[in-house]
Amino acid sequence: MIVQRKELSWWERLYIPAIISGFRVTVRHFFKKKVTMQYPEERWVVPEGYRGAPYLVKDQDARTKCVSCQLCEFVCPPKAIKITPPGPKVNKSTGNVEKEPADFEINMLRCIFCGFCQEVCPEEAIFLQKDYSLTGESREEMIYHKDKLLELGGTHQDDIMKWAKKNQEAKAQGIA
Amino acid sequence: MAKQATEKSAPPVETITIKIDGKEVEVPKTMPDPITGKPVATTMIQACKIAGIEVPHYCYHPKLPVAGNCRMCLVEFGMPAMGRDRKPILNDDGTPQVRKMTLPYEPGTPRGAIACATPISPGMEIYPNSPATKQMRESVLESLLVNHPLDCPICDQAGECKLQEYSVEHGQAESKFAETKVHKPKQVDLGPRIMLDDERCILCSRCVRFSKDIADDDALGFVNRGSYNTLTTFPGKPFDNNYTLNTVDICPVGALTSKDFRFQMRVWFLKETKSVCTSCATGCNITIGSREEKIYRYEPRDNDAVNACWMCDEGRLNYKWIGRKDRLTAPKRNGREGITWKNAIDDLATRLSEFEPKTTAIIGSARQTTEELYLLKKLADHLDAITDAPARVGEADKLLVNADKNPNANGALVTGFCSGEPGSNLSKIATDIRSGKIKQLIVIGEDVTKHGISAKLLEKVELVLVSDILPNETTKKAKTLLPGSAHAEKRGTFINVKGRLQRFLKAVEAPGDARPESEFLAELLTIVSGESYPSNPEGLFNKMAAETKALADVKWADIGDLGVDVKI
């Protein structure tokens, strides 16, 4: 296709009016509200439902909610999650939940923040939170382990508390 | 495949024609009882299986006596209608009229029968996919789930749980049960290898029947009634026979769990590799479950000619050495690393060509594959060497365990590596070393210091080549040490005590630079003898079979997953 070049008029060939109108736009923006932010001191407030980095959470009784079912590890498209199961040794501290991961790693360099882990989790133990800017000085540092993930994840108000409820029921029936 | 499986020429069994799902099927009138082997009437579930239709079931197991307590296999069925004169009522077109069974007191309601315990009869019609059957299944599942804890996220069975599978396939999405579930203890120690989660048990009694009728240890039973019905052992008597872990396999839910596998890995991550157990000469067929080069469990694999679908606990748990940290991982010369495989093999070939005939002994192992023993035999022929492999004798039992703890003693016989009983030449080799007649020793896969050739005696010979998997007294003294592979890390064949040739496949990679023995032995032999030996197990097996009388017309491809019988 041949594009016909438009012949410029005398007024247009002067250039001065075009420069002036350009400056007018620039000057107008001096007095408008700023659209940029002083990152990293100022940060963008993410909207509700934003998918940031996935972190592990504890419930209001400070129990690690993850039970190491490894569904997130299975569903994770970039294989960013690696869970070390607890193994057969009976852990008295977990009570009727029996299982808690020995380690939980998320490679934040691999994570694509898709949210499948949160969606698949049967225990509501992992949530995509609002962090979008993760930095580190080495690859190892960007692999977040269980303790770090729990610290960043914080507490999730669990309305169901199914394990505590089961425990209560069992106790009421005389099962320790 | 003429040699496939054991073909017993049993007399032909009378057949019955019945209709399943509208299709006419001819099924044998009787089938062997799983315990006694005597012919008993064929049941509906067996007939459906022949017709290629699976009827969902929990308590039924093809290798166990029928219990009929789970009710999952309920199916709607019809029988030819009989007149008052006890003659079949015919339709207008002359075919016998079939009436669907209904409740006697409620003629509008279909009456199901449990397919596992109802014998078939001529003219019967089974409707395994009818709406009534589906409704029965839904109701049975609902009742089974009443007290089931639904703790799938922490249940080891999740992923291979029949309750999960059938709930998805035949169940309802929502529970109508609003009451509090009955809770039971969750960590009951039944024995050294078994942990019971009482809540999950659906009381199918497979484990009870297995222990009583197969393992001959009537250890398990149910106590209490109704919703409080509980599986237990006799007070003070642990469930500790050598076959307990089979109950974990046959448990359709996650009630019986293996203490070894418990909470180690979710089953859907495990890669399943067909293999053979190496703990004794029975050669039980197994499936190796591995993930990321780590073996997590052995499970028995169905093979009616060898182990049916069972295996002993001892064999099942004998896998941890494969992943040991101190595995040999690099070829060494005089105890030092830093040589390449090529250098090591070239040097060996040069060294072997300098040997005088009859001055070498080769000690192999009846734990090596048949192909490896064949290569060792060829090497021995070339060097005119004396050969043997140590015997390993243990205790046998009535079910599966054999007294011969070597998995491939018959392979050593068939290839000619052992001329008689394994171990019969060892004392002669020891004497010849002492007298100085034998100057060089090649040891593959054995610690000879444990088999009559002491560490002191080893000083008298040149230990030209030693290959092993784990370090031991013999590997310490090796001039050239080549790291070998465990059976799970290579492909090959074993011949079991009954002469069944079975093949196993590779589940995991060998650590470091370790290689399968058949590979480097074939390379070495190719240089030494000038004849070409394939280093892949298929080629090697076919070459060996062509040269070995007992394996005359077997090809690698003929062995299949279940193996073939060979004449020793």
- Per DSSP, the residues of B335-401 read TB----HHHHHHHHHHHHHTPPTT-EEEE--TTS-HHHHHHHHHHHHHHT-EEE----B----SSS-
| Three-class DSSP category at B328 | coil
pTM of the full predicted structure?
Answer: 0.90
Q: Average pLDDT over chain A, rounded to whole?
A: 93
pLDDT band at B95 (very low <50, low <70, confident <90, very high): confident
Interchain contact A95–B (C-beta under 8 A): no
pLDDT digits (tens, 9 = 90+) for B233-277: 988 889 999 999 999 999 999 999 999 999 999 999 999 999 999
Is the pLDDT at B7 greater than 80? The verdict is no
Provide the pLDDT for residue B256.
97
Cβ within 8 Å of residue B425, ≥6 positions away: B386, B387, B388, B418, B419
Provide the pLDDT for residue B222.
95
Q: At what angle do helices B370-383 and B517-529 cross, to 10 degrees?
A: 30
Q: Average pLDDT over chain B, rounded to whole?
A: 93
* Pairing of the two strands B440-444 and B360-363: parallel
Interchain contact B259–A (C-beta under 8 A): yes
Which is nearest to B283 in space by CA: B271, B300, B295? B300
Tokens 């736009």 sit at which residue?
A25
Is the pLDDT at B560 greater than 80? The verdict is yes
Q: Which residues of chain A lie closer than 8 angstroms to B180, CB-CB?
A: 169
Provide the pLDDT for residue B375.
96
Q: Which domains does chain B have, with CATH numbers?
A: 15-144 (3.10.20.740), 152-161+172-323 (3.30.70.20), 332-565 (3.40.50.740)
Cβ–Cβ contacts within 10 Å for residue B292, how many? 10
Mean pLDDT in residue range B312-323 = 95
Is the pLDDT at B88 greater than 80? The verdict is yes
What are the residues facing B196 on neighbouring strands? B188, B256
Is the pLDDT at A109 greater than 90? The verdict is yes
What token pair was written down for A11? 């007024």
pLDDT digits (tens, 9 = 90+) for B325-353: 999 999 999 989 989 999 999 999 999 98
Mean pLDDT in residue range B388-416 = 94
Cα distance between residue B27 and residue B29, in whole Å: 6
Q: In angstroms, what separates the C-alpha of A89 from chain B's closest C-alpha?
A: 8
Residue B490 belongs to what H/E stretch?
none
Provide the pLDDT for residue B10.
59
pLDDT band at B6 (very low <50, low <70, confident <90, very high): very low
Domain residue limits, chain A: 54-160
| Three-class DSSP category at B86 | coil
Provide the pLDDT for residue B9.
54
Provide the pLDDT for residue B553.
80
Provide the pLDDT for residue B107.
85
Interchain contact A103–B (C-beta under 8 A): no
DSSP B159-217: TS-HHHHHHHHHS-SS----SPPPP--S-EE-SSSEEE-GGG-----HHHHIIIIIS--
Q: Which residues of chain B lie closer than 8 angstroms to A70, CB-CB?
A: 265-266, 269
Mean pLDDT in residue range B407-416 = 94
Q: Which residues of chain B lie closer than 8 angstroms to A123, CB-CB?
A: 153
Cα distance between residue B147 and residue B181, in whole Å: 5
Q: At what angle do helices B517-529 and B341-353 cross, to 10 degrees?
A: 40
Cα distance between residue B290 and residue A15, in whole Å: 74
Is the pLDDT at A141 greater than 90? The verdict is yes
pLDDT band at B2 (very low <50, low <70, confident <90, very high): very low
Mean pLDDT in residue range B1-9 = 43
Query: What is the CATH class of A54-160?
Result: alpha beta
- pLDDT above 90 covers a percentage of chain B that reads 83
Is the pLDDT at B4 greater than 50? The verdict is no
Provide the pLDDT for residue B11.
65
Cα distance between residue B564 and residue B568, in whole Å: 12
Provide the pLDDT for residue B1.
36
Contact criterion met (CB below 8 Å) for B96 and B81: yes
DSSP A49-72: T----EEE-B-TT--B------HH
Provide the pLDDT for residue B420.
84
- pLDDT above 70 covers a percentage of chain B that reads 98
Contact criterion met (CB below 8 Å) for B16 and B50: no
Interchain contact B265–A (C-beta under 8 A): yes
Cα distance between residue B540 and residue B523, in whole Å: 12
Option in A74, A98, A173 nearest B183 (CB):
A173
Interchain contact B264–A (C-beta under 8 A): yes
Q: Where are the alpha helices (DSSP H) in B30-71?
A: 44-50
Cα distance between residue B407 and residue B367, in whole Å: 6
Tokens 């659906």 sit at which residue?
B202
Contact criterion met (CB below 8 Å) for B467 and B481: yes
Option in A88, A170, A176 nearest B259 (CB):
A88
B147, B148, B151, best to mutate vs chain A, most A CBs in 10 Å:
B151
